A and B are shown apart, each in its own frame.
Chain A
């Protein structure tokens, strides 16, 4: 199993999190810590979570996304999800996350 990882990039008031690996209850806390640290450090206007490199995600991943969404919203920022895999998109739709957070397919997904 590839552990969950997150790469952060900040540019022009946009904070971009590129997630990869497998996100579950065991691995979520590590990426959560880094994401929260960056959110509070940069206090960005816009946050993007790129999910095309995520090989697995269960409801712990939903918790990770929704928890960050609340924090970003509290800081008056917006969140957008980019390029979820079909499996992740299914979970996002089931939980209604796509009604709360815009899910965008850029077509530039690079594995």
Chain B
């Protein structure tokens, strides 16, 4: 296994007010790698989407859920961000990844979360099991 050059982990309760805290922590940590403004903005947005999914979908507003966030930096400026929950999981992850797909009926959510994560990183991996939770891995190589 390749050893990370630098890493950090955090566990936060699945509260909506922690969405900005989570993306700011990841952003502050990655700033040490001197990314471009655009790269940092992309990753901040992707993390925000993943954490919001945990709050809104995985735990469905349950406040006792925990979100694990891990960031690892590897040789060659490769950044791997893992966002893990122990929420409800997805029975059809492929469907959830489709742009504009949403379980929301209020018309206030665009169903663009996964599409943004996918397009703002080099690679996105989703591991999910109904009743066990979901792990989203975001991978991006910085210039």
Residues on A lying within 8 angstroms of B by beta carbon are: 1, 22, 24-28, 32, 56, 58-60, 62-64, 66-67, 70, 86-87, 91, 94-95
Contacts of A64 in B (CB 8 A): 108
**When the two chains form their complex, are residues B108 and A32 in contact, meaning their CB atoms are under 8 A apart?**
yes
**Inter-chain contact B108/A87, CB cutoff 8 Å:** no
Q: Is the CB of B119 within 8 A of A56?
A: no
Digitize B99-143: 1 where CB-to-A-CB distance is under 8 Å, 0 elsewhere: 100000011111111011001000000000000000000000000
B residues contacting A by CB (< 8 A) are 16-17, 19-21, 23-24, 38, 41, 44-45, 48-49, 52, 55-56, 99, 106-113, 115-116, 119
Q: Which residues on the A side are within 8 Å of B49 (C-beta)?
A: 58-59
CB pair B38–A86 under 8 Å, yes or no, is yes
Which residue of chain A lies nearest to B41 when distances are taken between CB atoms in the complex? A87
Contact A24 B20, beta carbon cutoff 8 Å: yes
Beyond A22-B20, A63-B109, A91-B116, 12 extra complex contacts between A and B, CB < 8 Å: A24-B48, A25-B55, A26-B16, A26-B19, A32-B108, A56-B23, A59-B109, A59-B112, A66-B110, A86-B38, A87-B38, A91-B45
10 smallest CB-CB distances across A and B, nearest first, come from A26-B16, A62-B110, A59-B112, A87-B41, A58-B48, A1-B20, A25-B52, A63-B109, A63-B108, A67-B108
A26 to B45 alpha-carbon distance, docked (Å): 14
Query: Most chain-B Cβ atoms within 10 A of its Cβ — which of A1, A22, A26?
Result: A26
Residue of B16, B99, B115 most packed against chain A (CB within 10 A): B16
